[in-house]
């Protein structure tokens, strides 16, 4: 064990895999002391923390590599260790004689509990611990009703966040980091975060470039060109009309306050874009809203926010669930979305709403089944946004969609994918159908189907549920919950 080095600091990285606007790293670097940058894969000791799904594990591996490269460029490196965070961090502090450990807070119950255990283990060996806020625009305890409860309706919530003024200005990345002693590190490959047999991540690699540089480049490109027309384009899955920042935000490769300030700066420089930029920031506000909900309701992925839903008569239908998961429902826009998800680890927001509504309303399958599938397949799978949005669609959540809103997958397709380009891309077996039929191939005549090379029930499924029948069944079931 090394003697206590009054000056050595450890920075514990978690969902903040970046160098800029990283308050803990900034504070450590300002001290001028040598800094050990540490990431701990703690997949055993924190039973409340939901294990990452497959797509998110892939992202994490790439993001750690990117952080490693950025630290190397500063003459530093990322130390990787695996095990219970409290034990691993205290052991490293002992081994190196560190004087202090710094980290950024994550305002989620399992992360707060983990940080408390780390702080206690450090206190026991006389090592200082300090944490810094920064994962959200506003700390959850600061946005409350008069009687101290979290807000359950988005608009007043977002008004309150905006009224609390600009969040602190982002901090710069350290220009250099004090050289730390060499300590043992795991090899990332041994963590087996990436799939190998089979390697299903080809589509993810084609689609994404994880890491802070790529996050910054995406934000800049979006604010320069993409944001113009965002308020309308954001609903079009056939266009590249949104920022694509969600997985970068999820892993903290960019902070929400960096997004906030860059967007405000762009709006000031180009006032004509102010409306689109406000809309974009309000979407970032939804992320914030979901995280605040999660802060109050740590079992958001398991429990209906509205208890009246506890008695809801969900159907168990494994065949229909599997057809939904594989993009074989017979509804082109639903199938396109589910296949986009499987291939790329993401799905357009409009289509997420349509496929979620289809599962919980047309198929009457419990929203938790859909939430779990998304958790495993989304690169941006987020402990707040995923369950909160599922509950929103199901009607069991906060500020939820009205129960009688049953998205019509045909009309949604025709409205938001008017040329059928999104369906043609993800459901190529329908590619030759005329645009007027592409969202409802069952309406095509035998001749039209033949000309397009489509054989319903063979090359592409018949609808697994009739739209009108599914809608009526959903309304009946929902009416019982409402009246029950
Ligand atoms: P942009 O339109 O560019 O929006 C900017 C940012 O705002 C996003 O990066 C995201 O961080 C945030 N945002 C946008 N819409 C929402 C929203 N409805 N709720 C919360 N935050 C939002 N988003 C996730 O980040 N993780 C999830 O696990 C997730 N699961 C979802 C499940 C369902 C059923 C639905 C309907 C939506 C879900 N969303 C989730 C929200 C949304 O679909 C994605 O955030 C969005 O598609 C990401 O694309 P973008 O970064 O280009 O978004």
Q: Which CATH number is 255's domain given?
A: 1.25.40.80
**Cα distance between residue 349 and residue 362, in whole Å:** 19
The CATH number that applies at residue 326 is 1.10.579.10
pLDDT of 5 reads 54
pLDDT of 47 reads 79
For residue 65, being part of any structural domain is answered with yes
Q: Which of 180, 182, 183 is nearest to 33 (CA)?
A: 180
Q: Which of 77, 61, 58 is nearest to 19 (CA)?
A: 77
pLDDT of 1 reads 45
Judgement on whether residues 361 and 239 belong to the same structural domain of the protein: no
Exposed (0-12), middle (13-18) or buried (19+): which is 44, by Cβ within 10 Å?
A: exposed
Q: Whose CA is nearest to atom 52 of ligand 1?
A: 244
Judgement on whether residues 292 and 325 belong to the same structural domain of the protein: no
For residue 281, being part of any structural domain is answered with yes
pLDDT of 6 reads 55
Task: Decide: 320 and 365 in contact? Cβ < 8 Å.
Answer: yes
Residue 314 designated active-site? yes
Judgement on whether residues 331 and 470 belong to the same structural domain of the protein: yes
Residue 349 designated active-site? yes
Last residue of a domain, which of 271, 296, 321?
Answer: 296
At 136, give phi and psi (nearest 5°).
-135, 170
CB distance 263 to ligand 1 below 6 Å:
no
Q: Ligand 1, residues 389, 393, 395, 397: which to mutate, most atoms within 8 A of Cβ? A: 389
Give how far Cα 169 sits from Cα of 17, 20, 108, 121, 229, Å: 19, 11, 23, 33, 27
If one counts the domains in the chain, the total is 3
DSSP characters over 176-226:
--BPPPP-----GGGG--S--TT---HHHHHH---SHHHHHHHHHHIIIII
What's the average pLDDT block by block, 10 residues per block, for the chain (484 residues)? 68 98 97 95 86 97 98 96 97 97 96 96 98 94 92 96 95 91 96 95 98 98 97 96 98 98 97 97 98 96 95 96 98 98 98 98 98 98 98 90 88 98 98 98 98 98 97 93 66
At 35, give phi and psi (nearest 5°).
-125, 130
- SS3 category, 267: helix
For residue 258, being part of any structural domain is answered with yes
CB distance 249 to ligand 1 below 6 Å:
yes
Judgement on whether residues 154 and 72 belong to the same structural domain of the protein: no
Judgement on whether residues 257 and 312 belong to the same structural domain of the protein: no
Judgement on whether residues 125 and 157 belong to the same structural domain of the protein: no
Give how far Cα 95 sits from Cα of 127, 177, 338, Å: 12, 20, 48
The CATH number that applies at residue 13 is 3.40.50.620
Residue 59 designated active-site? no
pTM for the whole structure: 0.97
Range of the domain at 148: 136-167+211-296
Give the tokens for residue 449.
């189907």
Residue 286 designated active-site? yes
Judgement on whether residues 433 and 321 belong to the same structural domain of the protein: yes
pLDDT of 484 reads 54
Give the tokens for residue 341.
């998800």
For residue 202, being part of any structural domain is answered with no
For residue 151, being part of any structural domain is answered with yes
If you measure from the C-alpha of residue 441 to the centroid of ligand 1, how many angstroms do you get, rounded to a whole number? 30
**Cα distance between residue 281 and residue 121, in whole Å:** 39
Judgement on whether residues 227 and 105 belong to the same structural domain of the protein: no
CB distance 380 to ligand 1 below 6 Å:
yes
Residue 373 designated active-site? no
Q: Whose CA is nearest to atom 22 of ligand 1?
A: 287
Q: Whose CA is nearest to atom 7 of ligand 1?
A: 284
């Amino acid at each position: 064990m090394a003697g206590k080095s009054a000056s050595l600091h450890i920075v514990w990285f978690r969902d903040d895999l970046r160098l800029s606007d990283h308050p803990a790293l900034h504070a450590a670097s300002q001290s001028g002391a040598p800094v050990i940058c540490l990431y701990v894969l703690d997949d055993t000791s924190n039973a409340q923390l939901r294990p990452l799904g497959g797509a998110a594990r892939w992202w994490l591996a790439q993001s750690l590599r990117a952080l490693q490269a950025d630290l190397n460029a500063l003459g530093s490196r990322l130390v990787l260790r695996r095990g219970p965070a409290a034990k691993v961090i205290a052991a490293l502090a002992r081994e190196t004689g560190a004087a202090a450990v710094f980290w950024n807070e994550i305002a989620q119950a399992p992360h707060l509990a983990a940080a408390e255990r780390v702080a206690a283990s450090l206190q026991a060996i006389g090592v200082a611990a300090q944490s810094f806020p920064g994962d959200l625009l506003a700390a959850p305890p600061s946005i409350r009703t008069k009687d101290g409860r979290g807000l359950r309706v988005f608009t007043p919530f977002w008004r309150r966040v905006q009224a609390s003024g600009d969040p602190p200005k982002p901090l710069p990345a350290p220009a250099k980091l004090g050289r730390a002693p060499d300590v043992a590190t795991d090899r990332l490959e041994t963590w087996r975060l990436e799939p190998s047999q089979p390697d299903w991540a080809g589509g993810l690699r084609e689609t994404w470039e994880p890491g802070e540089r790529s996050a910054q480049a995406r934000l800049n490109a979006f604010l320069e060109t993409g944001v113009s027309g965002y308020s309308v384009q954001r609903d079009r899955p056939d266009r590249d009309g949104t920022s694509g920042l969600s997985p970068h935000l999820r892993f903290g490769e960019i902070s929400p306050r960096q997004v906030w300030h860059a967007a405000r700066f762009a709006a000031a420089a180009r006032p004509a874009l102010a409306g689109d930029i406000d809309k974009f920031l309000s979407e970032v506000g939804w992320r914030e809203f979901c995280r605040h909900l999660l802060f109050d309701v740590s079992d958001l992925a398991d429990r209906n926010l509205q208890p009246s839903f506890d008695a809801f008569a969900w159907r168990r239908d494994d065949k229909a669930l599997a057809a939904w998961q594989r993009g074989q429902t017979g509804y082109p826009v639903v199938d396109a979305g589910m296949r986009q998800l499987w291939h790329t680890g993401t799905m357009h927001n409009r289509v997420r709403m349509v496929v979620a509504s289809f599962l919980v309303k047309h198929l009457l399958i419990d929203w938790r089944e859909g939430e779990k599938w998304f958790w495993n397949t989304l690169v941006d799978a987020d402990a707040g946004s995923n369950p909160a949005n599922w509950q929103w669609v199901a009607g069991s959540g906060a500020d939820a969609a009205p129960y009688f809103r049953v998205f019509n997958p045909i009309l949604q397709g025709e409205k938001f994918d008017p040329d059928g380009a999104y369906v043609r891309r993800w459901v190529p077996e329908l590619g030759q159908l005329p645009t007027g039929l592409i969202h409802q191939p069952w309406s095509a005549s035998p001749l039209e189907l033949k000309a397009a090379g489509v054989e319903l029930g063979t090359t592409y499924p018949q609808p697994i549920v009739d739209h009108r029948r599914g809608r009526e069944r959903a309304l009946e079931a929902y009416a019982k919950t409402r009246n029950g």
